[in-house]
Chains A and B, each alone.
Chain A
Amino acid sequence: MASTAPPPEIPALDLPAPRPTRRVLRHHWLVRATHWLNALAIIMLLMTGLNIFGAHPRLYWGDAGSVDQRERIWLETGASPPWRNPTGWIDIAGTRFTTTGVIGVSQSPKGTPNIVAFPHWATLPSGRDLATARSWHFFFAWVIILNGLAWLGYGLLSGRLTRDILPQRRQLSPAHLWHDIVEHAKLNFPKGEAALSYEVLQRLAYAGVTLILIPTVILTGLAMSPGMDAAWPFLDALWGGRQSARSVHFIAMSGIAGFLILHVLLVLLSGPIRQIGAMITGRMTIGGEK
């Protein structure tokens, strides 16, 4: 398999033939700034969002839904007695999973069982506080929108979005995709010139998060706003109603959280100093590797 796959791509950089070691500009300043601001906003939005979910830990399909319309619930978290030692659970589409310790019931900082959707270490503020969680959530919603627009504007104008983020037609062949999956599974990460461009799985992940999942959480978030629904009636109609939008918001959030975990893990596995250094200083040392 590996022998039939194309060699690692050398990007069309205007550079002379490979030299032993050199520092190259890997990330434009605007990309670095928006990356870190986005990271901060996503973490804040995730943690405040999990606190907000705790105020009504049920998800429905359709326009409306409440505890008086249980048939519309497709996801719910909760706890069951004995109350001295409660069991935490999550119901998804009629199937119950016991999740004591993480979802439904978790340990409070004092070590006692706490009946809450998500544990204190995963939410901001750590205790139940819908008012504070909401005001922080909406502040960082503005941050992620404005930051995202800056990134998108730069990406479109510079051509970087289509050149560096969108998967290239050539990369989407089954053989190429398989090759990249195998390389990731072996933890063989691109070195030398190849490290200056993203491989196909990375492109799919970055494009999926930035162009699909983040726009989805933004649009479903807006669809939950009664003021925005009145201003732009297509917002809630797009998702089949406000409660459906709330469900999709939660699902897309889970996708972003999954990406975040995988992204941090792969950075740690592929040379964290070099990778994080490049995203801070913008520069990466190329060549001289074995």
Chain B
Amino acid sequence: MILPPTILKRRQLLTALPAGLMLTGCDALTRNPTAKAVIGSAEQATMRWQRLVGRDGLAREFSAADISPIFKVNGTHEPTNPEWQRLAAGNFTDWRLKVTGLVTQELALTLPQLRALPQRNQITRHDCVEGWSAIGGWTGPQLSHILKAAGLRDGARYIVFLCADDYGGEASKGGLQSSSRYYESIDLVDAFHPQTILAHSLNNQPLSTGNGAPIRLRVERQLGYKQAKYLMQIVVAESLAPFGGGKGGYWPDRGYEWYAGT
């Protein structure tokens, strides 16, 4: 039940429309595709605005005293994926971070190789889309180092992070085609941002299972769901369409903003 704004005059809309009718109308409106497109345009405006005023801005870095006593585990607590289970059982010695897609040189990096790269330490605030925040100290190489080592080819626009966890528990559907397989993506501005790192440690300890072992992405100017855990593969892509539901991430496929600098 969508209200035709051209027929109803402002006076009628504002004074005569019973509140109940308006509320039912609103719920229906949230499901209308045109309304969704109009409402969704705000995300583009927000992204452009933030890039305009703070393209190179750094997320605030805190002191060790500010670190939250417990870094809350959210989303997947332990991947059920057998491959991840096998790698975890072997202390991730067999784990490789594959870097593929629009690169001049495909890579398969081991954990010691990632630890041997120049490291960045940053104590930052993690902001969950639900509303809470936790402060943690992360260590890992900058993503930019790895992307430069792989070399981006023409057309590269997005960096897609494929994870080991099937959030929503549909492991039986399996594989990267599964709609419940967690993934995320960022554009090149955030990919080459100095605070965008592949963290292997939280508060000087190797990542716990709950916090994304062996590696999780940190993209500090965006919300928690962009900080993809259990990284398996990085794909350099021209378009987000081939991945998952095509919106660039597990949660973006489910209606959340792809640009989560909000």
Contacts and interface: CB of A to CB of B under 8 A. Distances in A.
User: Do chains A and B stick together as partners?
Assistant: yes
Interface of A: 36, 39, 47, 52-53, 55-56, 58, 60, 63-69, 121, 124-126, 129-132, 134-136, 138-139, 141-142, 224-233, 236, 242-243, 246, 276, 280
B255 A227 contact: no
A242 B129 CA distance: 13
A224 B221 contact: no
Interface residues of B, number: 52
A63 B132 CA distance: 10
A138 B15 contact: no
Interface in B13-53: 14-15, 23, 26-27, 30, 36, 38-43, 45-46, 50, 53
Nearest to B252: A131
Given A66-B133, A135-B40, A231 B50 contact: yes
A36 B10 contact: yes
Given A68-B72, A236-B60, A136 B39 contact: yes
A63 B125 CA distance: 8
A276 B11 CA distance: 9
Contacts of A229: 59-60
Interface of B: 10-11, 14-15, 23, 26-27, 30, 36, 38-43, 45-46, 50, 53-54, 57-60, 62, 66, 68-70, 72, 125, 127-135, 220-223, 251, 254-257, 260-262
A136 B30 contact: yes
A86 to B, nearest CB: 22
Contacts of B220: 226, 230
B262 A225 contact: yes
Given A226-B221, A230-B58, A232-B53, A65 B23 contact: no
Given A139-B42, A227-B54, A67 B132 contact: yes
Nearest to A233: B60
Can you list the 5 inter-chain pairs with the closest CB atoms, starting with the nearest? A231-B54, A227-B261, A131-B255, A56-B131, A66-B132
Which of A66, A67, A125, A227 is packed against the most chain B CB atoms within 10 Å? A227
Contacts of B15: 276, 280
Contact of B10 (A134, A139, A227, A280): A280
B127 A230 contact: no
A242 B62 contact: no
B135 A132 contact: no
Given A126-B23, A243-B133, 11 more contacts: A63-B125, A64-B66, A65-B133, A124-B30, A136-B39, A226-B127, A226-B222, A227-B54, A228-B50, A230-B59, A242-B125
Nearest to B39: A139
17 contacts: A39-B14, A58-B131, A63-B62, A63-B125, A64-B66, A69-B70, A124-B27, A130-B130, A135-B40, A138-B257, A139-B41, A226-B59, A229-B59, A230-B57, A232-B54, A236-B60, A243-B132
Contacts of A47: 26
A43 to B, nearest CB: 9
Contact of B54 (A67, A135, A224, A230): A230
Contact of B132 (A56, A131, A276): A56
Contact of A125 (B30, B42, B58, B134): B30
Given A124-B27, A124-B30, A226-B59, A64 B221 contact: no
Contacts of A233: 57, 60
B42 A138 contact: yes
Determine which residue in B62, B69, B127, B254 has the highest number of CB atoms from chain A within 10 A of its CB, and name it.
B127
A253 to B, nearest CB: 14
A280 B72 CA distance: 51
B34 to A, nearest CB: 13
Contacts of B23: 121, 124, 126
A227 B193 CA distance: 12
Nearest to A272: B15
A83 to B, nearest CB: 23
